[in-house]
Structure 1
Amino acid sequence: MKKSTAPLIHGIVAASLGLGAWAAGLPAHALEAQPATPPGYGPNPTLPEPQKGLLPTINVAKAVGWPTGVQPQPAAGLAVTRFADKLDHPRWVYVLPNGDVLVAETNAPQRPDDGKGPKAWITKQFQKKAGATVKSANRITLLRDTNGDGIADQRFVFAEGLNSPFGMALIGNTFYVANTDAVMRFPYTAGQTRLAGKPTKLANLPGGSINHHWTKSLIANAAGTKLYAGIGSNSNVAENGIENEQNRAGILEIDVQTGATRVFAAGLRNPVGLAWEPTSKALWTSVNERDELGDDLVPDYITSVQDGGFYGWPYSWYGRHVDDRVKPQRPELVEKALVPDYAVGAHTASLGLASAEGNKLTQTYASGMFIGQHGSWNRKQPAGYKVVFVPFVGAKPSGMPLDVLTGFLNEKGEAMGRPVGVAVDRQGALLVADDVGNVIWRVTASGAAGPTAAFPAATGAASTPAAQ
């Protein structure tokens, strides 16, 4: 793969690409030869010393799309098919109770103050290469499989004219969507294919002219009384001023009756995926950590979220490791910083998160979390660009992550696809949104067996349907 380096000012590419790092699959037998677990993975990750420099590594995979007849490589025992294609930058998926699948076709809004002058030009060049500059369709599309063959044979415009929509949730007869700057609600009737009523605003969300991390995720509690919104930071490490981070880098709790909001958890740089762990009923999130501390720092992670918990950003990383780039320091906050539950690799851009509950893949995936890793932009050896599974025992992660879907890069290191949102459908299959390939992939059991380890960095090859 070609590698290039260029100057970069704190995070000017990362937020708009939604990128992190990228570790592809390694056959199980090869794992035995590894002398140690690679840095940045597992419940007790190895954390190397920070590596700082004036010229951060930039290594962005060019977006090329999927050639005819080529698709990602599923793990042994699994199969993959196209549930739907020819979409417009599909980022997030949500499954309705009747089995209809909603897809947020979306991208970043206009952000005039997120990089000006020369750095804005640099940002645009890397955005173009990674396929991240397409105009937002601002649409939610409904996909329906009427005959149960695992392929959507009907599609409808469910909602349009939105503002960079992302998170979605249904509570009773009310459908909620998280625009980049507000949670909107619509009346909904089961089975309808288009939202017909006039939307109303439930609550404002942090937006503005910087809006560095623009995606706003959403999940409802079991009682249907609260929504939780994942809000990313307005910077890499608060270089745009801590005053611009109000109600950011955390999870907001929103009362569905009044729209009142409060900070549920803070210090989470970019908490994108949200999921409930079915045994403990705890809220979990997938978090994209900070950049420019080296190839192996800081690992992205998944973690249970404590009400009132503080997870370090921007003052410390992975617990109480102080980030001395941040001035002034807040040692009293660092002292409170919670250590995340499980590291999933530095710069993997672990965005999508879905509980294994209800899936019918194989017993290997009975308990745990599926993670969509969008892929790195600032690492010599790319990482991510795949879907992985973290096994759980007793409501906590146990063991190393396993590859589920790999092969999103071709032999030239170009991106044929990029996995983002993940969800389990009503038939127990895993749905994967691919915002470069413009596909929703559907992963099912094939009858074979045998998981593969998800590290360190050997890219799984793509496959053709006939090869499975």
Structure 2
Amino acid sequence: MDLIAKATAMVGGSIAFVRRMGAPSHQAFGTTPDIPAARKQGIMTLKMPAAEGWKDGHVPTCAPGLKVNAFASGLDHPRWIEVLPNGDVLVAESKEQAGPPKTLMDHAAQATMRRVKAIGKSANRVTLWRDADGDGVAEVRKVFVENQNQPFGMALVGDRFYLGNTDGVRVFDYASGDTALAGEGEKLVDFKPHGHWTRSLLVSPDGSKIYAGVGSLTNIADQGMEVEEGRAAIWELDVASGAARIFASGLRNAVGMAWEPVTGKLWTVVNERDGLGDETPPDYLTSVEEDGFYGWPYCYWGQTVDDRVPQDAAMVSHAVTPDFALGGHTASLGLCWMPDGTLPGFGAGMVIGQHGSWNRSKLSGYKLIFVPFENGKPSGPSRDILSGFLSEDEKLAYGRPVGVTLGPDGKSLLMADDVGDIIWRVTAA
């Protein structure tokens, strides 16, 4: 496998170098992005920094007026965070468990992902972290639940705790202050595993519904649409009855979700398709309409057809155009609403954890960013909250941002870093 990794890095680096010379000079960002025409790649660009981690006091770079510290460290690939009403912080520790590679491209892609610890043996647990003395550093660590199947999203409704495993949602009994869940829980809904495996969860404001993101199996339905049934969608689960249905579809990989308080709309961040160029198409932040269709796999950013895919003109005709482009292949995963007054110098808006690209000639993402909102919509360019996760020569990843949420005090952000194995805490300086 080391030989494959080295060969992939050499070949991928050569291809990326050539493609970088013709790459667009701008990123496709904002409400009216300049999206370059598709350039079919044939052999997909594979470029991934090696996982380095944080050493010798090195920490992410903060925006002016902010500071960052490690709230929790020594985790095993932390991906998602949930803050309980009593202030306990739950962290899902899991990673992709790749199946046997079927093609040379599969071998290459898996070798690339291993460089940054993105695939491998999964911890398959949720840990609980408690900052009892309020100093911004957790001193209590407990295993909240273990022996799960790539756990990710978490949600609490009353005394019932919901966990999004890759193969479905389980529910457990919970009482305030519990440091561990008892029993195996109850399976409520089944999801198809593998592919885009994360299953984020979000509770409706009234507590009656839970929304779950279920990504596609493949890039562009490469194995046909039958295996994609029930995927590339956001599901809605009725808490009282347990009934589940697809709420919105055509979302290749919708991960983070959040409620926008002015309009009450559901918003999500979506990872778009590969193989059409550095900036084509961009990942995006969008409001989600009930029964809305967002294009995948037939088209992107509205009705821009992907002619690599057998077409369905009727589906293309009513594809919804997303609200805000986030740049090509930034792997925007984490999402939370940040109220005005949370961090100095930042108003109300969405905070997004950009995990970072692996499939473009010039790497993108590797940041925690903020998109300001006014009257329920994005109102300006994005700004960096945390950066410095990538070395200047793009060869090393010190960390990779994933899930983000408000801290228990309401005056901080907590962000999972699955390369640094740290939960970072951002506050006023």
TM-score by length of 1: 0.85
Q: How does 1:73-222 map to 2 (within 5 A)?
A: 73-109=61-97, 111-112=99-100, 115-207=101-193, 211-222=194-205
Taking the aligned partners of 2:403 and 2:222, their CA distance within structure 1 comes to 29
Taking the aligned partners of 1:86 and 1:111, their CA distance within structure 2 comes to 27
Name 2:327's counterpart in structure 1: 345
Taking the aligned partners of 1:385 and 1:357, their CA distance within structure 2 comes to 23
2:416 to 394, 408, 433: 433
Give the match's secondary structure for 1:92.
strand
1:43 matched to 2:50: no
Query: Does the aligned pair in 1 maintain the 2:48–2:116 contact within 8 Å?
Result: yes
Name 2:406's counterpart in structure 1: 424
Taking the aligned partners of 1:380 and 1:37, their CA distance within structure 2 comes to 12
Query: Does the aligned pair in 2 maintain the 1:4–1:57 contact within 8 Å?
Result: no
Letter in 2 for 1:283: L
1:396 matched to 2:377: yes
Query: Does the aligned pair in 2 maintain the 1:43–1:343 contact within 8 Å?
Result: yes
Query: Does the aligned pair in 2 maintain the 1:79–1:445 contact within 8 Å?
Result: yes
Name 2:272's counterpart in structure 1: 289
Letter in 2 for 1:400: P
Query: Does the aligned pair in 1 maintain the 2:195–2:218 contact within 8 Å?
Result: yes
Letter in 2 for 1:206: K
Name 1:31's counterpart in structure 2: none
Give the match's secondary structure for 2:109.
helix
Query: Does the aligned pair in 2 maintain the 1:417–1:437 contact within 8 Å?
Result: yes
Letter in 2 for 1:87: L
Name 1:367's counterpart in structure 2: 348
Q: CA deviation at 1:163?
A: 0.6
Taking the aligned partners of 1:62 and 1:282, their CA distance within structure 2 comes to 39
For structure 1, which segment, 241-250 or 118-127, has the greater mean C-alpha deviation from structure 2 after superposition?
118-127
Aligned residues, how many?
A: 410
Q: CA deviation at 1:308?
A: 0.5
Query: Does the aligned pair in 2 maintain the 1:250–1:264 contact within 8 Å?
Result: yes
Give the match's secondary structure for 2:371.
strand
Q: CA deviation at 1:121?
A: 2.4
Q: CA deviation at 1:157?
A: 0.4
* 1:45–1:331 CA distance, 2 compared to 1 (3 A): same
Query: Does the aligned pair in 1 maintain the 2:12–2:47 contact within 8 Å?
Result: no
Letter in 2 for 1:61: P
Larger RCO (CA under 8 A, 6+ residues apart): 1
1:269 to 211, 227, 252: 252
Give the match's secondary structure for 2:112.
helix
Q: How does 1:23-62 map to 2 (within 5 A)?
A: 38-62=26-50
Query: Does the aligned pair in 2 maintain the 1:5–1:56 contact within 8 Å?
Result: no
Q: CA deviation at 1:397?
A: 0.2
* 1:411–1:321 CA distance, 2 compared to 1 (3 A): closer
* 1:4–1:58 CA distance, 2 compared to 1 (3 A): farther
Give the match's secondary structure for 1:216.
coil
Give the match's secondary structure for 1:348.
coil
Query: Does the aligned pair in 1 maintain the 2:343–2:427 contact within 8 Å?
Result: yes
1:302 matched to 2:285: yes
Show CA shifts across 1:307-359 (max 9, x none).
010000000001100000001x1011111000000001000000000001376
Give the match's secondary structure for 1:247.
coil
Letter in 1 for 2:319: A
Taking the aligned partners of 2:405 and 2:294, their CA distance within structure 1 comes to 26
Q: CA deviation at 1:38?
A: 3.1
1:72 to 60, 79, 101: 60
Identity %: 50
Q: CA deviation at 1:48?
A: 1.1
Query: Does the aligned pair in 1 maintain the 2:54–2:420 contact within 8 Å?
Result: yes
Give the match's secondary structure for 1:130.
coil
Letter in 2 for 1:193: T
Long gaps (5+) in structure 1: 8-35, 447-468
In angstroms, what is the RMSD of aligned CA positions? 1.8
Name 2:226's counterpart in structure 1: 243
